[in-house]
Amino acid sequence: MEPRAVRLRYDDVRVDPAGWEIPEGTVPESPLHDDLCERFKLVLEHWVERTQRDAEVYRNIAVRIDPTDRRIGIDPDVCVVSPAPRERRALTSIASFEHGPPLLSIEVVSTSHPNKDYREAPARHAATGVTELWVLDPMLAGPRTHGGPFLIQRWARDEAGTLVRTHAGPGPFRSSVLDAFMVMVESVPRLCDDSVGLGPWVTRDEALARAAQAAAQAARAGEQAALEREKAALAREEAALRALAEMRASARG
């Protein structure tokens, strides 16, 4: 394969697509890594559902970048593809040259190979054409070079189409593709409606549970209101009976 260039703004990057083969099999993940990735997948799936966006969310799917060598690419921990590929959930890989580049890709830094996630991943994601990339390092396992490690990095396309790092630190930052903020909540990165952590995004199951809880609270409030009305009506009836008894007693006297 001939050397290729990708549009990327980052210090000391060496682009070597010859070493960008997507590994076969599943790379072992820590429970924290897996839980964080799975939560982002579920939260983003609910975002797609509630906004009715034409998109699909994938977990650990290969994103291929070279039509002449389909081994070349990267498999992000989570990615959003929009518009959704025609095959949607039946796909086993995404070909950026066929299905279009991901709208968003998320990488959670692995404690077993943090340097790769910091130094190689941005270049490979730049080659996919991704619009926005997040690199999350909740364990701060990354290298100390260039000021790191960083809890959160955000990369986004500038006007020239270059993938540029726009944030490196604890947050918050605004995601332009989601119109939301990434905020550290109790040391865990969370998507929220604003930069102070209000309006946290939830999964579909959490939204349904909240709706059920709200409905139950409303039902209890309705029952309590009906009981109060019944008690008030009974009190009025008793007051009327007492007034009638007093009138009769007065008339007899």
Cβ(118)–Cβ(90) below 8 Å: no
Residues 134 and 212 in one domain: no
127 shares its domain with 149: yes
Same structural domain for residues 236 and 172? no
Quick one: 195 and 238 in the same domain?
no
Return the CATH number at 67: 3.90.1570.10
How many domains are contained in the chain?
2
If asked whether residues 99 and 213 sit together in one domain, one would say no
The contacts of residue 5 (CB under 8 Å, 6+ apart) are 15
Same domain, 163 and 236: no
Residue among 50, 49, 48 nearest 81 (CA)? 48
Please report, in tens digits, the pLDDT of each residue of the chain (253 residues total): 454 555 556 544 455 666 788 877 666 678 888 999 999 999 999 999 999 999 999 999 999 998 888 889 999 999 999 999 988 888 899 999 999 999 999 999 988 888 888 888 999 999 999 999 999 999 999 988 778 899 999 999 998 889 999 999 988 999 999 999 999 888 889 999 999 988 999 999 998 887 787 777 877 877 888 878 888 878 888 887 787 777 887 777 6
Domain that holds residue 226: 203-253
